[in-house]
Structure 1
Amino acid sequence: MKAIILHESKGRIRFRISQKKMTLQEADVLENWFQKKSWITQVTVHERTGCVILQYSGSRKEVLAAIREFNLQEAQSQITLPLHSSRELNRKFQEKLVGKVILKAASMLFLPKPLQIARIVWHMLPFLKRGIRCILRGKLKVDVLDALSIGISVFRKDFGTAGTVMFLLELGELLEEWTRKKSMEDLARCMALNVDRVWLKTPESEILTAVSDIRPGDKIVIRTGSMIPMDGILAEGEVTVNQASLTGESVPVVKHPGNTVYAGTVVEEGECILEVKQVMGSSRYDQIVTMIEKSEQMKSAVESKAANLADKLVPYTFIGSILSFLLTRNILRALSVLMVDFSCALKFSMPLAVLSAMREAGKEHITVKGGKFLEAVAAADTIIFDKTGTLTHACPKVAQIITFGGRDESDMLRLAACLEEHFPHSIANAVVQEAQCRGLSHEEFHSKVEYIVAHGIASTVNEEKVLIGSAHFIFEDEGITVPLNEQERFDHLPEEYSHLYLAIGGELTAVICISDPLRREAKEVLSALRALGIQKTVMLTGDSYRTASAVANRLGVDAFCAEVLPADKAKFVADLRQKGHIVLMVGDGINDSPALSEADAGIAISDGAAIAREIADITIAADSLWELVKLRRIAMALMARIHSNYRFVIGFNGALIGLGLAGILPPAASAALHNLSTLGVSLRSMSALPKPKQDNDCCI
């Protein structure tokens, strides 16, 4: 690429490309290409002027070489652009904004007075229509104030004020729509898969096809290094898949024909043909967009309070205007009061602040399904943790296998793996992994498997009932007995491990000892949460009291409950809420789902069961529990911003009303300042949340 350097300083270079005209897509390609360079810290491309600003940490020689190296055609074949371009959105609204300003200026400069008046009268009809509609519905909202202030100005033949007010209102609406759509776009884009074309397998050849044209049943080719763009079944080939983005697993998983693969995962090695099961409309991107569109149903109490307060203040503004006129007999003072309302700023800035916080959470790999859950996180005084896979690592290990009744250790492990592979939980994965490490194949040789939530698994092998699960399930629910003369061995099982019990034909045949190491950061995270205002930390687990007590002592939790069932967990959460506590529940398994649903905000670990992630209100990545601290800080910063917005909106607009009553501010000035303040508080709501004064991110 040929370019001319326009300005240069240390770590920053500004140049203009030789290409005379640059499309929006070409600008996005250029920007994305540079963003992929490890030495780039920031890149900005101005498509209208062809100027590019690079901020870099590498050598100048490396930067200049990259600029020379860039080839648009090659870059377009290598880079997949997002389905929705922020640049395109900005261009659209910029053109609308400039067009509106030019039209206003042209009408004032070139239209004769009668035509200007006719244009203003025609222009005010939609405002009057909205106001009358509100009155007919028995509602006194801001539309009534707008219609009244514009109508009175026209009635008084003050067409200049009426035109200015309408122009400012339309300008404010346009800017509000722009900022809101940009916030939604940013939030959705940070979670998008950014894959728009795939290789469709046909009987004749492979065809490069838009993702939107793929249908269920179609077969697509996925090669090494490619992201899987949609959920499906492996039809041909064997590949290793990196599922870290979805499950948090650090080790790639081998996938064979018939296995399910998920959108957002990456093929690390091999090539396969995928039969598509879910397509556009059910992709991760579309789910996020749908979540945002439904966010009105998940408004926080603060957002609802802001909307209700804004509507409640409209009658007072109306009454203040009437009283102003009655006391002063000055219509201008009354109009100055009518020009100001609290509705726009309150109703608009609060959702924008929530969207901004949700976007920031998304950048930290935290998915939040609605504003009310962030409010719950900020207000929570109690946090409850599941143990296995949450406070402990998601990859426990088999430490020992103790057999009974003369059974062979390898046979028992093979049978346990055969059953557990159907229901992947962290302990089940440990059993399957141990069998693989020992080279034990475990082909299907049992009948239908039945999963009893939080208890265990039941099946039939060689016409004998086989059970595997917890002590409660094996001994209390199923009445399994320990073989004769082996009770003493059973009584002296290693206490430092969790135990998984295997029984065949009504008799205990093996105990699988599971070592489940604690997360290294767990204790420090609990301390950090207490420092952020969490008053009580609780651990709930289905493990024995002995194991739970050992873990609780090491972590320093305030309380723990052992040998609890899913219903017990949910009841524990419900009881705390009835006592007035605001409760967060953190879990990863199917058995945590009732409690996640019962809590004020349920937080799922991303490598947990699919049903847990679906039910949870918030999902965090499995890499580190420090994300809980980040989540709490984001939520608290959001609430601080919302309360700050409240104070500013009420104070500033109240001052405008007071100045209007005193006759200091004319109607047009009141309207201008009100709309500018609304825009200002909205832009502030969109900006990044402030960082805490003392940040412990060095621990993260």
Structure 2
Amino acid sequence: MKCTVLHESKGRIRVHICRSRMTLRQADIAEYSLAALSGVRNVKVFDRTCDIIISYECHRGAVIKALSELSLDAERAAELVPEHTGRELNREYEEKLVSAVTHRLLHKLLLPAPIRRIISFIRAVKYIARGIKCLLHGKIEVAVLDATAIGVSLLRGDYNTAGSVMFLLKVGDILDEWTHKRSVDDLARTMSLGVEQVWLKTSEGQEVLVPVSEVRRGDMVIVRTGSMIPLDGKVTAGDAMVNQASMTGESVPVHKSEGSYVYAGTVVEDGECTVCVESIAGGGRYDRIVKMIEESEKLKSTAENKAAHLADKLVPWSLGGTILTWLLTRNVTRAVSILMVDFSCALKLAMPISVLSAMRECSRAGITVKGGRFLEAVSEADTIVFDKTGTLTYSSPRVAEVITFGGRDEAEMLRLAACLEEHYPHSIANAVVKEAEERGLLHEERHSKVEYVVAHGISSSVDGERVLIGSYHFVVEDEKCLIPDERVFRHLPKQYSHLYLAIAGEIAAVICIEDPLRKEASQVVEQLHRAGLSRVVMMTGDNERTARAVAEKVGVDEYHSEVLPEDKAAFIRSEHEAGRKVIMIGDGVNDSPALSEADAGIAISTGAAIAREIADITISAEDLYSLVELKRYSDALMKRIAWNYRTIISFNAGLIVLGALGILSPAVSALLHNASTLAIGMKSMTDLDTGEKD
């Protein structure tokens, strides 16, 4: 691509693409292609002027080379561009705004006064009709104030004021809609599936683990309990209960059988199914996410609902103030000035925008939040409950030792364990699979249907023999599997967690799992205490000895050992009965009941898909400091909402007083009111002030 350097400074270059025009699609290709270059911090592409600004930390030569090799029509480059980028949305509203301003200027400069009056009457019909419709429904809201102000101005023959008010209202509507859609669009584009590999069923009937990018229309994909459906398609075999809350808002799982349609991003809660892919890369998911964001009641925090109710309640007072001003002064202009000001616009715009912007900012920090009320819950919470494995400990434990019984081969036992565990990803299952891969232990799928028993283990059949893998409670106590060598069994290494493998009713091997504590765990607990969480609790299925050792190292206030999934949920219910607000953090299928029960359920990004689906918030698996960041963002959001309240009420009250005193004309009141609404809305879109970082 031929380019000309327009300006250059250290770490920043502005170039001009030597071509007459650039489409929106080509601008996106240029932006995402250059942004993919290692060391490039930021890229801005101006499609109208064909200019590009690049901020970089890498060698200048690498940037120049990337520009020279840039192709705006290459299919490979186009694959880097997401389905929606926001550029088209911005262009749409830029053009709407320019059109509104241009029409107003032409209207004022070119049309004679009689024609302008006729046009003013025609345009006023829409606003007056809205006001009348509002009254007919028994409501006195902002539409009534607008209709009254425009109607009174027209009846007085003040066409300039009426025209100015309608123009400002139109511009305000465009800006409000643009601001809201930009926030929703930014948030929707941050929500990704996070599915990298899928089980593909070949024409020979074998299951092969492949990257999701290699799946094509017509391919058969197998999805099992706890896993996310990666692509849209139709079920061709199997039965499953699918959680579709992220797509349709349904609160209970939906039964899917042969012939049913399933959506990318939904999760199989129970059962398994084979899906014939009909739409690659989750086509249409963006639109469904946008719809979910706009319609879901989950977005509505108490503060947002309070703002909406307060805004509506203040409208009759504004109308009453207008009537009182006219009765006292007999000055219509002063009365109409009050009508130009209402609290509703700013309150109803600023609060949701603040929440959406906070959610977007969380996303940039690796935190996905499904609704404003969960940020509010985190800010107000006084108790946080941790699952141990995969949360306080690293989400990638490793196999430390494999102890076999009955003269069985260690490699063969590990191979068999990996063959079963790879179908149900969890931190411990991942450790087994990884160890087998590192030892070069490849395996064929020799087992029959795999059954997952929540919080216990896996059951299947290999060469006609029943095979079990899971906890001691599941394999020994529930399934009554025999222990071949009591002496060896009693002296299993106590510093490790144990995974029991049984074949034909007898223990065949014990896989010892080393689950090191996260190095930042104790510091995070200390910072959460300082941030206002008075009670930090750890709950684990491990034995008392292991649980106590971890609790002492981490510094939690209390711990509970040998708990089942229902015990965690019951504990949270008891905390609610005691009047506490509770956050729960976990990563496994067994944490799902507790995540659902909590005021804010938080899942680890590498955890089970069903945990991420049920959870209200998902944080990065890299470290637990994102929990502290989440608390800071939540507190900062509530401070911003409080600031918005004070600013909106005080500023608009001031405009009402100045209008009543005759200092401000109706047009100026409307201008200042709309300008303040836009300014507060834009302020609400800026990054939160989270204070000093520890």
TM-score when normalising by structure 2: 0.82
CA deviation after TM superposition for structure 1 residue 23, in Å: 3.0
Distance 2:646 2:328 in 1: 29
CA deviation after TM superposition for structure 1 residue 468, in Å: 3.3
Q: Which residue of 2 aligns with 1:179?
A: 179
Q: What whole-Å deviation, never above 9, does each CA across 1:472-523 have from its counterpart, x for those lacking one?
A: 334443455645xx54544443221112234456555543322111122222
Q: Is the 8 A contact 1:11 1:56 kept in 2?
A: yes
Q: In the TM superposition, what are the counterparts of 1:340-419 in structure 2 within 5 Å?
A: 340-403=341-404, 409=410, 412-419=413-420
Secondary structure at the residue paired with 1:585? Answer: strand
CA deviation after TM superposition for structure 1 residue 119, in Å: 0.8
Q: Is the 8 A contact 1:403 1:511 kept in 2?
A: yes
Are 1:686 and 2:685 counterparts? yes
Q: In the TM superposition, what are the counterparts of 1:486-501 in structure 2 within 5 Å?
A: 487=486, 489-501=488-500
Q: Which residue of 1 aligns with 2:581?
A: 582
Distance 1:335 1:55 in 2: 51
CA deviation after TM superposition for structure 1 residue 131, in Å: 0.9
* Cα 1:345–1:296 shift into 2, 3 Å: farther
Q: Which residue of 1 aligns with 2:524?
A: 525
Q: Is the 8 A contact 1:32 1:79 kept in 2?
A: no
Q: Which residue of 1 aligns with 2:313?
A: 312
Distance 2:113 2:506 in 1: 100
Distance 1:112 1:579 in 2: 72
Q: Which residue of 1 aligns with 2:136?
A: 136
* Cα 1:449–1:36 shift into 2, 3 Å: closer
* Cα 1:106–1:420 shift into 2, 3 Å: closer
Q: Is the 8 A contact 1:385 1:587 kept in 2?
A: yes
Q: Which residue of 2 aligns with 1:514?
A: 513
Distance 2:309 2:643 in 1: 18
Distance 1:523 1:644 in 2: 34
Q: Which amino acid aligns with 1:102?
A: T
Are 1:28 and 2:28 counterparts? yes
Q: Which amino acid aligns with 1:335?
A: V
Q: Is the 8 A contact 1:361 1:631 kept in 2?
A: yes
Q: Is the 8 A contact 1:467 1:474 kept in 2?
A: yes
Secondary structure at the residue paired with 1:604? Answer: strand
* Cα 1:40–1:611 shift into 2, 3 Å: closer
Secondary structure at the residue paired with 1:513? Answer: strand
* Cα 1:111–1:488 shift into 2, 3 Å: same
Q: Is the 8 A contact 1:230 1:283 kept in 2?
A: no
Q: What whole-Å deviation, never above 9, does each CA across 1:85-121 have from its counterpart, x for those lacking one?
A: 4333222222211111121122122222211111111
Q: Is the 8 A contact 2:415 2:443 kept in 1?
A: yes
* Cα 1:75–1:38 shift into 2, 3 Å: farther
Distance 1:436 1:40 in 2: 35
CA deviation after TM superposition for structure 1 residue 160, in Å: 1.5
Q: Which residue of 1 aligns with 2:145?
A: 145
Secondary structure at the residue paired with 1:624? Answer: coil
CA deviation after TM superposition for structure 1 residue 408, in Å: 5.7
* Cα 1:599–1:62 shift into 2, 3 Å: closer
Q: Which amino acid aligns with 2:680?
A: V
Q: In the TM superposition, what are the counterparts of 1:36-55 in structure 2 within 5 Å?
A: 36-55=36-55
Q: Which residue of 2 aligns with 1:242?
A: none
Q: Which residue of 1 aligns with 2:154?
A: 154
Distance 1:580 1:110 in 2: 67
Q: Is the 8 A contact 2:466 2:504 kept in 1?
A: yes
RMSD: 3.3
Q: In the TM superposition, what are the counterparts of 1:238-387 in structure 2 within 5 Å?
A: 276=277, 278-279=279-280, 285-286=286-287, 288-387=289-388
Distance 1:488 1:58 in 2: 61
TM-score when normalising by structure 1: 0.82
Q: Is the 8 A contact 1:291 1:369 kept in 2?
A: no
* Cα 1:444–1:33 shift into 2, 3 Å: closer
* Cα 1:473–1:66 shift into 2, 3 Å: closer
Number of matched residues?
Answer: 631
CA deviation after TM superposition for structure 1 residue 281, in Å: 5.6
Within the candidate set 688, 692, 695, 2:693 is matched to 695
Distance 2:63 2:390 in 1: 45
Distance 2:92 2:586 in 1: 44
Distance 1:63 1:418 in 2: 46
Distance 1:463 1:82 in 2: 48
CA deviation after TM superposition for structure 1 residue 655, in Å: 1.0
Q: Is the 8 A contact 2:480 2:505 kept in 1?
A: yes
Distance 1:165 1:626 in 2: 50
Q: What whole-Å deviation, never above 9, does each CA across 1:378-410 have from its counterpart, x for those lacking one?
A: 222221111112221222223234455666655
* Cα 1:3–1:412 shift into 2, 3 Å: closer
The percent identity for this pair of structures is 57
CA deviation after TM superposition for structure 1 residue 151, in Å: 1.1
Q: Which residue of 2 aligns with 1:535?
A: 534
Q: Is the 8 A contact 1:603 1:618 kept in 2?
A: yes
Q: Is the 8 A contact 1:389 1:426 kept in 2?
A: yes
Q: Which residue of 1 aligns with 2:455?
A: 454
Q: Is the 8 A contact 2:231 2:282 kept in 1?
A: no
Q: Is the 8 A contact 1:145 1:338 kept in 2?
A: yes
Consecutive unaligned residues of structure 1, counting only runs of 5 or more, are: 195-210, 221-227, 234-261, 265-273
Q: Which amino acid aligns with 1:430?
A: A
CA deviation after TM superposition for structure 1 residue 414, in Å: 4.8
Secondary structure at the residue paired with 1:400? Answer: strand
Distance 2:558 2:595 in 1: 18
CA deviation after TM superposition for structure 1 residue 28, in Å: 3.1
* Cα 1:443–1:44 shift into 2, 3 Å: closer
Q: Is the 8 A contact 2:497 2:514 kept in 1?
A: yes
Q: Which residue of 2 aligns with 1:268?
A: none
Q: What whole-Å deviation, never above 9, does each CA across 1:35-86 have from its counterpart, x for those lacking one?
A: 3344544443333334444444456666666655555456985664333343
Q: Which amino acid aligns with 1:542?
A: G
Which one is further off, 590-599 or 412-421? 412-421
Distance 1:422 1:218 in 2: 19
Q: Which residue of 2 aligns with 1:677?
A: 676
